[in-house]
Amino acid sequence: MKARVMVVDDHRYLDEKVRNGLMSQVENWDLEIVGSEREALNLLSLRPCDVLIAGMNGIDASGAGTMARLSVESPSSIRIALAVPGDVKPSGFNHAHRILPNPITGDRLSAAINGAITLKSRLTRGGLANFLANADILPVPNETDLDILEELAEAAPNATRLADLIQTVPDYARQFARLAALHDGAYDADLVSAIEILGPDVVRAVVVFESVHRQLPLDRLRRTGLANMKSHGYEMAHVARRIAGGSTGGGFATMAFVGGLLHDLGSLTLAANRVSDYRRVLKSALREDRPLLEAERKQLGVTHSDVGTYLMGLWGIPDAQAALLDDHGTTAEGDDRPAAAMRLANLILGDPGEPRGAIEMRYGRAVKEFDAFALDAKQVRELAGIRFCD
């Protein structure tokens, strides 16, 4: 069955070229372009849609506006708001899953719709929809993040433009300087050079990682024992990159770094929303020697991979990279080198709450997997000693 897509073009914000581009997708989508909010509300009362696109029309601090009213009539839709400069406000995310700039190209809007359809399919996982319905904290991009992510979505992102945006957030700029030195030995690189060295995939991942950490309450994470996960994320990224970069498929090092950095954002979001429950999950996984994903599914009905991949969809992370958050807890076999490198990095560093001193036991469980990457016990111990002090 084709996904139902509704575009509410009440202010004629789509030019004819964009409209024609959308209409060319009718073989893939059940598409409706309506000319008014009232018409949209009438149609939605008869049949909900999977993806809903509308203008923000200057959403105010209370969240009033077209998208707010449409979200009431179609709460299960993935909603994309198109905003002109000055419209974008954090409150818009109370009603829209993604905010995109307008004017927008047909290709960009079509890609966003396809991404929204994928995001919608993720809601069918286990108890994800129930978790999201009851979550009081779900990290979303702010205005600066949105500007950075939009520039990164260009075919050839402008490093100077990115540097101008990034330097307004000192935490971002500091990390890019550090990473350029670690990745390339460029200890004196300016911000533009650091961005060019790291590339758009790493820049995007760092922005998402840093912004999500800034939004999650540290006091809640402390109560679950996850206050140091920011350092853990960078350590995981570096270990996964080292493993992938040293393998035959060394060109996958960037993908492994991105996946390693983002892999536990779902855990942190779960923990911040269900502090007591998540503390019990971590304790039982350690006590029963059970993989964290299994313990989460058993006790919460949803896993950090479920939450993490959904979160990546909200932030516009490419599907191939978001999929790595699904793979890091599975067996590191086959040709998917980034996923395999992440799996091994996860074994080396352990799940949240798991002591690194158990590395010998974890190595013994996966000798063949480590051998496939030409990693012996000594090299594994060295990788386990990597530290990233934030």
Domain count of the fold of the chain? 2
Cβ atoms of residues 296 and 353 within 8 Å:
no
Q: Is residue 267 domain-resident?
A: yes
Q: Is residue 32 domain-resident?
A: yes
Residue 67's pLDDT band, with cuts at 50, 70 and 90, is confident
Calculate what percentage of the chain has a pLDDT beyond 90: 40
Give the model confidence (pLDDT) of 212-240 as tens digits.
999 999 999 999 988 888 988 999 999 99
Same-domain pairing of 247 and 351: yes
Same-domain pairing of 377 and 242: yes
How remote is the C-alpha of 96 from its chain's centroid? 16
Instruction: Give me the domain span that covers residue 63.
Output: 3-122
Would you state the pLDDT for residue 21?
85
Q: Is residue 138 domain-resident?
A: no
Cα(325)–Cα(306) distance, integer angstroms: 8
Q: Is residue 189 domain-resident?
A: no
Strand partners, 7: 33, 53
For the ranges 105-119, 242-256, 296-310, which has the lowest average pLDDT? 242-256
Residue scoring higher pLDDT (367 or 261): 261
Residue recorded with tokens 């350092």? 231
Would you state the pLDDT for residue 260?
94
Report whether pLDDT(88) > 60.
no
Q: Is residue 135 domain-resident?
A: no
Same-domain pairing of 220 and 365: yes
Q: Outline where DSSP puts E strands in the chain.
A: 3-8, 29-34, 51-55, 78-83, 98-101
Highest mean pLDDT out of 186-195, 249-258, 316-325:
186-195
Q: Please identify, among 91, 122, 153, the residue that sits at the C-terminal boundary of a domain.
A: 122
Give the model confidence (pLDDT) of 177-192 as tens digits.
999 988 878 788 899 9
Same-domain pairing of 225 and 103: no
Mean local confidence (pLDDT), 48-63: 69
- What torsion, rounded to 10 degrees, do the Cα atoms 91, 93, 99, 101 define? 0
Would you state the pLDDT for residue 279?
94
Domain CATH code at residue 288: 1.10.3210.10
Would you state the pLDDT for residue 122?
84
Q: Is residue 136 domain-resident?
A: no
Q: Is residue 81 domain-resident?
A: yes
Same-domain pairing of 368 and 232: yes
Residue scoring higher pLDDT (97 or 266): 266
For the ranges 64-78, 130-144, 237-251, which has the lowest average pLDDT? 237-251
Residue 357's pLDDT band, with cuts at 50, 70 and 90, is low
Residue 106's pLDDT band, with cuts at 50, 70 and 90, is confident
Would you state the pLDDT for residue 42?
93
Mean local confidence (pLDDT), 327-355: 71
| Residue-wise burial string across 358-386, b where 16 or more C-beta atoms lie within 10 A, e elsewhere | ebeebbeebeebbebbebeeebbeebbee
- Write down the mean pLDDT value for the chain: 84
Would you state the pLDDT for residue 94?
58
Would you state the pLDDT for residue 371?
84
Q: Is residue 207 domain-resident?
A: no
Report whether pLDDT(385) > 90.
no
Mean local confidence (pLDDT), 147-171: 93
Mean local confidence (pLDDT), 20-44: 89
Q: Distance of CA 292 to CAs 158, 171, 214, 283, Å?
A: 40, 30, 24, 10
Domain CATH code at residue 87: 3.40.50.2300
Q: Please identify, among 122, 157, 175, the residue that sits at the C-terminal boundary of a domain.
A: 122
Cβ-proximal residues to 347 (8 Å cutoff; 6+ apart), any chain? 362, 363, 365, 366, 369
Mean local confidence (pLDDT), 147-158: 91
Calculate what percentage of the chain has a pLDDT beyond 70: 86
